[in-house]
Chain A
Amino acid sequence: GAGVSQSPRYKVAKRGQDVALRCDPISGHVSLFWYQQALGQGPEFLTYFQNEAQLDKSGLPSDRFFAERPEGSVSTLKIQRTQQEDSAVYLCASSFYSGGHDEQFFGPGTRLTVL
């Protein structure tokens, strides 16, 4: 497809379960970002990849959050032992160049609900 895609669109997890969220960036885009959006707030940065290298993970809220992009294309955000405070929309964005100087394009997001 032409845009950023994410799956699943909705995920319900019981507290303590592990979840994996997938992002397919726009083909050829070097930069990939993950953001977390709480209800009624703007998205907040989680982590950044330049190709397969994770250059910034300063926004990950705890060591239960882990992200990878092994081949420099598709990325997976994994949350272990989910907690209720993890409930949010997780957004993926990509841009053509490295460093974020250019326009970022967002996927539709995955809405995670932890019961």
Chain B
Amino acid sequence: GIQVEQSPPDLILQEGANSTLRCNFSDSVNNLQWFHQNPWGQLINLFYIPSGTKQNGRLSATTVATERYSLLYISSSQTTDSGVYFCAVRMNYGGSQGNLIFGKGTKLSVKP
């Protein structure tokens, strides 16, 4: 099956720093989402981005589908950005009914 690899697994930042999280996937996809799982376990939708670039405030994301990777940029990080960031993809061909396949996540800790 498709493999989804996220890096780095852990990241510690000082408040105000910028960071880039990476998601590599092993096969063609037609759905890619980035989530932030807060300390209470809620998965918060950040981006639905099967291709191209999107921005939302201090966050932006880029997916290069032909090269099978996506990047999540966090600028001017805040302590509330702490949590686990997941990348999830859906395969681009049969056998899948649409379920997302998740990476193992990047655990981000932002220190004041």
Chain A residues bordering chain B, tally (CB within 8 A): 29
**A44 and B86 alpha carbons, distance in the complex (Å):** 12
CB distance from B52 to the nearest CB of A (A): 15
Residues of A within 8 A of B30 (CB): 101
Cβ-defined contact, B97 with A106, below 8 A: no
CB distance from A48 to the nearest CB of B (A): 5
Residue-wise interface mask of A (73-115) relative to B, using a CB-CB cutoff of 8 A (1 in contact, 0 not): 0000000000000000101010100111111111011010000
Tell whether B103 is near chain A: CB-to-CB under 8 Å.
yes
Cβ-defined contact, B42 with A109, below 8 A: yes
**A47 and B30 alpha carbons, distance in the complex (Å):** 20
When A42-B104, A42-B105 are in contact, do A106 and B99 touch as well, CB less than 8 Å? no
Cβ-defined contact, B42 with A100, below 8 A: no
Cβ-defined contact, B99 with A89, below 8 A: no
Cβ-defined contact, A33 with B42, below 8 A: no
Cβ-defined contact, B98 with A98, below 8 A: yes
Jot down 9 A-B pairs with beta carbons below 8 A, ordered by A. Answer: A41-B104, A45-B100, A98-B98, A100-B31, A100-B97, A101-B90, A102-B48, A106-B42, A106-B43
Interface residues of B (CB under 8 A from A): 30-31, 33, 35, 40-43, 45, 48, 86, 88, 90, 96-105
